[in-house]
Amino acid sequence: MDTLGDVNQQTVRAPLHQFSVPLSATRRGARLARLLAAEQLSSWGAPLDPARIVVAELAANAVLHGRVPGRSFRLTLSVVRAGTLRIEVADTRGDHLPAPARAGGDVLAESGYGLLLVEELADRWGVRCGPVPCKTVWAELDFDPCR
């Protein structure tokens, strides 16, 4: 039997701030994700950069690689604790997991470097599978909450 102390320890803390919106899996939807993120971060007093770049890259990937006709993608921004911004982009192509491009190849590609950029800018990032057929690519950025 759980005691009150056990229940309190199991409680998951709600984010300090959270914003979530479905967007069309189009170039316009990816652009809107970046613009909405900038507005939301400004209203929270959180730094815009590098978050705008991370949102732009993850949204572009959802449109280019995670698109299923007639399905949207979801952008979620959360300040999960003071000084940590979590960016999530969920799409309906859970069968197509992202992998960063290999750096140092002989041929310079015009695209394929988005996740390398995310990896460089984010303090942590990864992929969460499910619920079927979805996947969520997430990144966390640490920032000074006093600035």
Supply the pLDDT for residue 53. 97
The per-residue pLDDT for 69 is 84
The pLDDT averaged over each successive group of 10 residues in the chain (147 residues) is 49 82 96 98 94 97 89 96 95 84 56 86 95 94 84
Contacts of 43 (CB under 8 A, 6+ apart): none
What is the rounded distance in angstroms from the CA atom of residue 78 to the CA atom of residue 17?
Answer: 5
How far CA 1 is from CA of 8, 10, 11, 129, in Å, comes to 14, 13, 16, 33
Q: Identify the pLDDT of residue 14.
A: 79
What is the model's pLDDT at position 51?
97
Rounded CA-CA distance 9/96 in Å is 36
At residue 119, the pLDDT reads 95
- 51 touches 41 (CB < 8 A): yes
- Give the model's pLDDT for residue 33: 98
